[in-house]
Amino acid sequence: MRKVVIGSAVICAATACAVAAFIVKHRMKKSGRWARAEAIVNDFEEKCATPIGKLRQVADAMMVEMHAGLASEGGSKLKMLISYVDSLPKGDEKGLFYALDLGGTNFRVIRVQLGGKEQGVINQEAEEVSIPPHLMVGSSYELFDFIASEVARFVTSESEEYQLPAGRQRELGFTFSFPVRQTSLASGTLIKWTKGFSIEETVGEDVVSELTKAIERQGLDLRVAALVNDTVGTLAGGRYYDNDVIAAVILGTGTNAAYVERAHAIPKWHGLLPKSGEMVINMEWGNFRSSHLPLTEYDLLLDTESLNPGEQIFEKLISGMYLGEILRRVLLSLAEEASFFGDIVPPKLMVPFILRTPHMSSMHLDTSSDLRVVGSKLKDILGISNTSFKTRKMVVKLCDIIAKRGARLSAAGIFGILKKQGRDVATEKQRTVVALDGGLFEHYTTFRKSLENTLAEMLGKDVDSSVIIKHANDGSGIGAALIAAAHSQYLELDSS
């Protein structure tokens, strides 16, 4: 009997030891995984670092590229395109003006009634129209005919208060958000279609001419007064409300910047110097690249696998199109190399661009005690359930690293523009306003605050008080109408 008891005790002890060993081994495995995950995140954080010294190098590199791009065509990664906008709205424009904003599968027709200094924008109305998919791959004639017919319908349905005096033409600003080689204020040839459009016969053609012919076929007496990039439109919209606006930046799905340059500082400009002595430059700053940019292996792989490898490097670091995708790639690395979400890599985590920047923003801004928003986003989007608080906290840390790197680099870019304009130093009574637009800037509050704080840090106390970041909403719409007003053929008639 005693032998049986001893035997049973030995078996129990052995079982207990085995269980204990299993638990210890499991914990060691788990702690090993976590140590590996922490090492990956710490390495990523180190490579994303943007100390002020590095940001100043980025800003200086931006300024060097700006000079090179202004000197000659193709002299820089920055295109520094001449917009032919040499006169921005002053706020005293009067009359009825229109805008056509074509930037994707929808377009907007906008009507703006301006009342001069006293009344400003009296009335603004817009209508959005979806383009039928077959017209996006059909003929140039059919596409522009459809657009012109919608413009004509918008105009002919107007009430009598919008009727112009006899003999006076309506004037329109055309925002065309596709790659264009601009040849004058109101002409530009299409370089290539993007965003799902594919009409080969339009490539190399003047898009203003195509639109004008279609408008004439509708029997509508309307002149296209300006062909405008959406960033230039944002600058015009900002200037209309505030005469100290000298630059505009869009931070949304994509990114770009435009600013006011002294005409004599543009060596590649061979025409007569404009009366204003100024010219708006469309930088196309998304294509900026420099050895000072903090690129990681995730950024390099994203670029290699993109539709435009080697291009738009700055955009791939700071814009809404890519921030969420960078986060997905780091999480995938954690899942593969550190079993961050368990032994199996979540299949949805392997799907490119499944994690969008708005999802990342929601997780980053989660203030709940248990980070439940992070948990629900991981479950709903990536199919990852039962995440621990520790795991969620690590995800938030990654959001912070990626967003703040993007925001701080954006601030460095803006500082580069201000430095090029000589507005990075304190002078008496000089007020500088930069107009910003785009969903990333508007809705991602941590990104916006980081950008503003970083710019203030770079400028220093003496200068920061005179530099203002101002949100300029819907520049691509109203801005085009305002540029049409600033370049109206009736300006001299109206002022006499």
Answer yes or no: are the C-beta atoms of 238 and 435 closer than 8 Å.
yes
Cα 136 from Cα 133, distance rounded (Å): 5
State the Cα angle at 475 between 470 and 479, rounded to 5°.
Answer: 120
- Torsion sign, CA atoms 450, 454, 456, 457: positive
Cα 362 from Cα 365, distance rounded (Å): 5
Bridge partners (DSSP) of residue 100 are 109, 174
How many DSSP H helices and E strands does the chain contain?
A: 17, 13
Residue in the block written with tokens 């009067």: 94
Cα 333 from Cα 349, distance rounded (Å): 10
Q: Which of 230, 299, 303, 474 is catalytic?
A: 230
Q: Which of 83, 140, 177, 476 is catalytic?
A: 177
Residue in the block written with tokens 């408008």: 215
Q: Which of 86, 101, 108, 319 is catalytic?
A: 108
285, 335, 382 from 392: Cα distances, Å: 34, 14, 13
Answer yes or no: are the C-beta atoms of 171 and 225 closer than 8 Å.
yes
Burial code of 294-317, b = ≥16 C-beta within 10 A, e = fewer?
bbbebbeebbeebeeeeebbbbbb
- Judge whether 343 counts as a catalytic residue: no
Of 357, 370, 328, the closest CA to residue 345 belongs to 328
Answer yes or no: are the C-beta atoms of 175 and 481 closer than 8 Å.
no
Answer yes or no: are the C-beta atoms of 484 and 226 closer than 8 Å.
yes
Cα 363 from Cα 353, distance rounded (Å): 16
Cα 175 from Cα 229, distance rounded (Å): 6
Answer yes or no: are the C-beta atoms of 145 and 217 closer than 8 Å.
yes
* Identity of the residue numbered 154: F
Q: Using the 8-state DSSP alphabet, how is residue 157 labeled?
A: T
- Judge whether 108 counts as a catalytic residue: yes
Bridge partners (DSSP) of residue 282 are 81, 258
Of 173, 247, 243, the closest CA to residue 483 belongs to 173
Burial code of 241-251, b = ≥16 C-beta within 10 A, e = fewer?
beeebbbbbbb
- Judge whether 177 counts as a catalytic residue: yes
Of 384, 380, 375, 397, the closest CA to residue 345 belongs to 384
Cα 328 from Cα 352, distance rounded (Å): 8
Residues catalogued as catalytic: 108, 177, 230
